[in-house]
Amino acid sequence: KKDVADANIFIGSLIFVQELADKVVEAVEPYRETMDAVCVFPSMPAVMRLNKIGSFTMASMGQSKNVMLDFMKKNKPSGTSFQDGMLKLVRTLPKVLKFLPGDKAKDARSFMMSLQYWLGGSPENIEALLLNLASTYVFESDLLTGEVVEPPTVIPDQGIWHPVAPRVFETNEEYIQWLRNEHAPTIGVDPNKAPVIGVVLQKSHINTKDDAHYVALIMEIEANGGLVLPIYTGSLDFSKPIEDYFFLNGRSVVDTTINLTGFALVGGPATQDHPKAIATLKKLNRPYLCAVPATFQTFEEWKDSELGLHPVQVALQVALPELDGAIEPIIFAGRDGVTGRSIPQSDRIETLAKRAIKWSNLSAKKNADKKVAITVFSFPPDKGNVGTAAYLNVFGSIFEALKTMKAEGYDLGAELPTDVEGLVDAVLHDKEASMASPTLNVAYSMSVAEYKELTPYAEDLEENWGPPPGQLNTDGQNLLVYGVRFGNVFIGVQPSFGYEGDPMRLLYAKSASPHHGFAAYYTYIEKVLEADAVLHFGTHGSLEFMPGKQVGMSGGCYPDRLIQSTPNLYYYAANNPSEATIAKRRSYANTISYLTPPAENAGLYKGLKEVGELISSYQGLRESRGASIVNSIVATARTCNLDKDVDLPSEDFDTAELTLDERDIIVGKVYSKIMEIESRLLPCGLHTVGVPPTAEEAIATLVNIASIDRPEDEIDGLPRILARSVGRDIEDIYRSANAGNLDDNLLSENIKEAIRAAVRASVERSTDAAGRVTEVNPMMASLGAVLGGGSPMLSALKKQGFDKVQDPDLEKLFGYLEFCLKQVVADNEMGALIEGLNGEYTLPGPGGDPIRNPLVLPTGKNMHALDPQAIPTIAACDCAKVMVDRLLERQVAEEGEYPESIAFVLWGTDNIKTYGESLAQVLWMVGVRPLPDSLGRVNQIEAIPLEELGRPRVDVVVTCSGVFRDLFINQMNLLDRAVKLVAELDEPLDQNFVRKHALEQAEEFGVSVRDAATRVFSNAAGSYSANVGLAIENGGWEGEQQLQEQFTSRKGFAFNADRPGILDDKADMFKSSLKKVDVTFQNLDSSEISLTDVSHYFDSDPTKVVGSLRTDGKKPSSFVADTTTANGQVRTLSETVRLDARTKLLNPKFYEGMLKSGYEGTREITKRLRNTMGWSATAGAVDNFVYEDANDVFIADEEMQKRLLETNPNAFRDMVTTFLEANGRGYWETSEENLDRLRQLYAEVDDKIEGL
């Protein structure tokens, strides 16, 4: 501010970060009138409005009419940025000057000349810019008449620039001639064999001679035997020089492209045109790497930061290029803190060059010569768990991949297994052996001497694991690489994290390094096998979660050290974009999405089915035999434990004493509960890569897509259309049905049946004899031709009793469903793998829930998250308000008062799928509204007045997953600013619990109220999870106290918006805040992943932690918001666990579907039992009947025992162990007979596994 106050002229450019823009305006605006000139080049509108050159201004920029802006809008090249508009304006200046008065024309000309000098960039140009402004606006006398102001000197607007070339080339024919005939012979590279790397540069760095980082990379590539085609442009549309220079006679002349600008391909930092970028890159069809120059921090700041890259830079220079399909965000240059010039990072540049050349080799090598390492995971490490991946039939998929690779000419050796079982046997060697004995097939035995020689960082691992070979993946002498080779293809088992050997490691606040066996595995792939590519198979392994910086790896970060120079292809579940993004950024993966199995209705079984049948008979006989049927309904509901969820009359009560309406209410409530179970979506079986869905599976997916309103596309869901046709509002029907109204429950059920019938009718038109959809016929075509009876969908709806619906009502929705069906069946999962191995570009696409966002389909895309600055959206804020209000209503109804504090858990994937719903819930809870800046990025907030809020501000404690921290650090900033904002408001303490608690903590810790308002916590940078899930999976935990200590020590790192580069260990503040929590709260947002499908949910649940910290001994209430259907619900945690157990673990439809997948299916069933026990350990949320019923299904039934034992004896042993452990830890009370059977079974299974 002092410098500005003393200045004659202010010059600014490319200010596109909101916080920076606000600071610049705040500093310059007070002095704008007194300065001689203010010259601002392309920046955010508020900064551009500061411009003042004589009478020329842009004061109305972004507001009302403005001649210059109108001209620019008309002349702006489509899809490009403000800067390109400016450049075009410079070239067409004479046209616009006719419309301006004389003095304005002179001043506008000065501005445009200044812009040209600025873009020229050389010291001579900058000198001329200053002299020009000084002589015209600063000195009124002719002090400068002796100086001749040089016209701008500029290199061509775009071209090919090589540091040792004699000139800038403007055609690629001339450059290639120089490269092949003059340059390549000089550096000793054979131009006929060398890979050609296309490099995209920024003109400004070449102009200003700030090009040391460019020169260093070009020289490094050449030193590694490659040739470089370096192109630049002064515009921010880098697709144009790619189109002009990377093609010759329509063919690509480069083998890999590296973008060094640090920006999205089209549009730079302000506005992007991703479709245009993708079209160019698809045409080029080569791997597209986007390396990052650290521009927002100095080299030293990056090196010292645990987080790595600055959050603003992650959003602009990593997240946005990923939307174009960019991979490998390697930092190749830093900024000098003194001069501001770019410093090349030699070890990063070496890594980047080697990786680019390895990617290039994939398109040059013959398939028969390529070596590929397929990596599978074993989690938790046990013989019964080899090939774990979310919802993926791993060995079935690998078998399909091997067949495809063989057909593509890969060398797979003489003997390939003939079926999946044979493949499993080849890898496991002996399925029944335990992990401890090295009877997993050993593919390679590495001596300690070889390991040390080939693994430069081996010594660094000794601090955590002692000298090699250590205890894991070893025979005591050598390090063992488990797996099997088929010719040039190696299938290996990734070693574990290493916790199972020493449970106390789970308590460490920061994660340990990989162990020697883990390092040896990747050393084998890179240095011994010399793989051309590694394929990680399924969601997910441990490589990308190894310690290191969050984004922008250094050479000391373990993911970087382990993967080295091997191109990494990674199959990731389409519904998990957040962890896929971690794999992209930390292990340099080119992700390939795979479909999760289609979700079907859970259905009813056993006693639940009987209740359903009794309710059906009640409808017809309610007047005559109603009371006796209701008595049977109540009794059967009790045997199904529905009395835990529905308020039923006592066992000896005769419902004949009730009125007809009162009986209807009981039946309505029971019906509502069993319909909730019946219609719960259930992913069926496991997905096999390369096998597209059947017509039945497509119907299941489309039914769910058809049930959702899509206001952004102006499409009503089918439930709303059908409700409207009977004169009702669908929200009213849901509300009434939830309250137990029998008629509305029946109507709601009828609507669901009608949707299934209509969607089935639409898909049947495209189903072939084999039950698959190969070609999609138009759904709404030739309506008139159906002999006036309307479409098949209309007929199906009329049969269900909805006779007032007409085809025009359906046209828009079924047109959309037709598009979705094409997406569902257009599978490219195997195609993308082969393209990746061919060194081609993988089309990018969003990850997430295919039902909420069908653009996730078809799978086989390089998956990305979303622009982190785009959330929460307005729609997400609306949904969040509904769920928060329901949660508070329920808590007030049960406790009689508002909670003072609520503990939230934020997940990365959930916030991508819902565009920030749970993030918006936290903001609404404290009474803060998120606001977008002038470019639409959500980075501002305002407090909602208490009168508008209509309730107190409720305090929050936010635990962010490690993945959320990595992806949404800008949103953690937003949350922390929101909490601090309301803590500093002068409001009554009974209306502002955030301030109330912050004042108490300020006194407790002797800090300011602002510092006491610390509520946003996560793991330390580079660490993930509370390790509670790991402890429960490995079984080695001592007691609940240990799990609670793990949670508070690992999750107690606080984010502070006032110091955004670091996460401080604030475990004491974390505990102090948790002590005040009345309610714990989580969200479920998709049918594929529920409470017992993964360990993440209980791993981060603080219910028992809060109970142990509270001084009044009161257990907090626990709620779960379920937005998996249009009819969103808030349930207690126990209700949700019961619903989950009834629809999955105890449901024949689920476990029979899983058992069809054999070995892997048995493991999936055991996993759900283990995760159920996790909820007992962390929240005490599991009813005894869940264990009892599970024991009846899987253990008491001898036929079932036999099936489980034969398919996967290790997983079955783990199941028996889990039952015994649940009893031993006091979570399950059962008969001695049951326990004896389990103990005997354990001994039998153990003997079988050990081969006795």
Count Cβ atoms within 10 A of the Cβ of residue 665 and give its class: 0-12 exposed, 13-18 middle, 19 or more buried. Answer: middle
Q: Where are the beta strands (DSSP E) in 240-352?
A: 247-248, 251-252, 256-259, 288-290, 292-298, 331-335, 342-344
Q: What is the mean pLDDT of residues 491-503?
A: 75
Give the span between the Cα atoms of 757 and 792, in whole angstroms. 10
Find, among 222, 206, 192, 110, the residue nearest to 157 by Cα: 206
164-181 tens-digit pLDDT: 999 999 999 999 999 999
Condensed to tens digits (0 to 9), the pLDDT of residues 862-917 reads 998 877 777 888 888 888 998 999 999 999 999 999 999 999 999 888 888 888 89
Structure pTM? 0.80
Please say whether the beta carbons of 901 and 1073 come within 8 A.
yes
Tell me, what's the pLDDT at 435? Answer: 42
What's the pLDDT tens digit per position in 513-560? 889 999 999 999 999 999 999 999 988 788 998 888 888 999 999 999
CA quadruple 1131, 1135, 1137, 1139: dihedral positive or negative?
negative
Model confidence at 501, in pLDDT bands (50, 70, 90)?
Answer: low
How many residues comprise the chain? 1252
Strand order in the sheet with 442-446: 442-446, 479-486, 489-493, 372-376, 533-537, 568-573, 589-594
Lateral strand order in the sheet of 52-53 = 9-12, 37-40, 52-53, 56-57
- Which residues have CB under 8 Å from 1054's CB, separation 6+? 1014, 1016, 1017, 1063, 1064, 1065, 1066, 1069, 1070
Task: Say whether pLDDT at 1062 is over 90.
Answer: no
Q: Please state the three-class secondary structure of 1002-1013 as a single string.
A: HHHHCCCHHHHC
CB 1145, CB 1165: distance < 8 Å: yes
pLDDT bin (cut points 50, 70, 90) of residue 586 is very high
**What is the average per-residue pLDDT within 1035-1057?**
89
Tell me the average pLDDT across 1009-1018: 94
**602, 1149 contact by CB (below 8 A):** yes
Q: Which of 831, 602, 595 is nearest to 694 (CA)?
A: 595
**Residue 353 has which token pair?**
């060059």
- Higher pLDDT residue, 82 or 497? 497
Q: Which is more confident, 141 or 752?
A: 752
pLDDT tens figures, 410-451: 999 988 888 888 888 888 774 444 444 446 788 999 999 999
pLDDT at 592: 95
- Buried b / exposed e over 708-728, threshold 16 CB at 10 Å, is bbbeeeebbbbbbbbbebeeb
pLDDT for residue 1184: 96
Q: Which two tokens stand for residue 607?
A: 């006693």
Cβ atoms of 682 and 704 within 8 Å: the answer is no
d(C-alpha 933, C-alpha 1129), whole Å:
33
End-to-end CA distance of the chain: 82
Instruction: Check residue 510 and give its pLDDT.
Output: 65
Reported confidence tier of residue 201, pLDDT bands at 50, 70, 90: very high
DSSP character string of 1055-1117: E-TTSTT-EEE-HHHHHHHHTT--EEEEEE--TTS-TTT-SHHHHT--HHHHHHH-TT-PPPE
Sorting pLDDT into bands at 50, 70 and 90, what band is 978? Answer: very high
Q: What is the pLDDT of residue 1161?
A: 85
Residue 66 has pLDDT above 50, yes or no: no
Higher pLDDT pick, 436 / 568: 568
Mean pLDDT over residues 364-393, rounded?
Answer: 80
Q: What is the pLDDT of residue 262?
A: 87
- pLDDT, position 433: 43
Residue 257 has pLDDT above 90, yes or no: yes
pLDDT in tens, 280-325: 999 999 999 999 998 777 888 888 888 888 777 887 889 889 999 9
Q: Is the pLDDT of residue 101 over 60?
A: no
Q: What pLDDT does 556 receive?
A: 92
Between residues 1207 and 450, the one the model is more confident about: 450
Distance CA 542, CA 698 (A): 33
Nearest to 1121 by CA among 1162, 1175, 1082: 1082
**Minimal CA–CA distance to 491: which of 412, 544, 437?**
412
Angle formed by the axes of helices 1232-1250 and 1198-1207, to 10°? 30
User: What DSSP assignment string belongs to 715-750?
Assistant: B--HHHHHHHHTT--HHHHHHHHHTT-HHHHHHHHH
Mean pLDDT of the chain: 86
Do 355 and 871 touch, CB atoms closer than 8 A?
A: no
Q: What angle is formed at CA 1217 by the lines to CA 1212 and CA 1219, rounded to 5 degrees?
A: 100
pLDDT at 683 > cutoff 70: yes
> What's the burial of 894, exposed, middle or buried (CB within 10 Å: 0-12/13-18/19+)?
exposed
Question: Which phi and psi (to 5°) does residue 666 adopt?
Answer: -60, -50
Q: Is residue 37 predicted with pLDDT exceeding 80?
A: yes
Report the 10 Å Cβ neighbour count for 771.
Answer: 10
- What pLDDT does residue 1213 have? 92
**For residue 145, pLDDT beyond 90:** no
Separation between Cα atoms, residue 1217 and residue 67, nearest integer Å: 77
* Whether 1062 contacts 1141, CB under 8 Å: no
pLDDT at residue 193 above 90?
yes
| Residue 482 predicted with pLDDT over 50 | yes
Q: What is the pLDDT of residue 88?
A: 53
**Residue % of the chain over a pLDDT of 90:** 46
Average pLDDT over residues 783-804: 76
Helix runs in 490-545, H state only: 516-523
Q: What is the pLDDT of residue 824?
A: 85
Q: Which of 381-395, 597-611, 1133-1147 has the lowest mean pLDDT?
A: 381-395
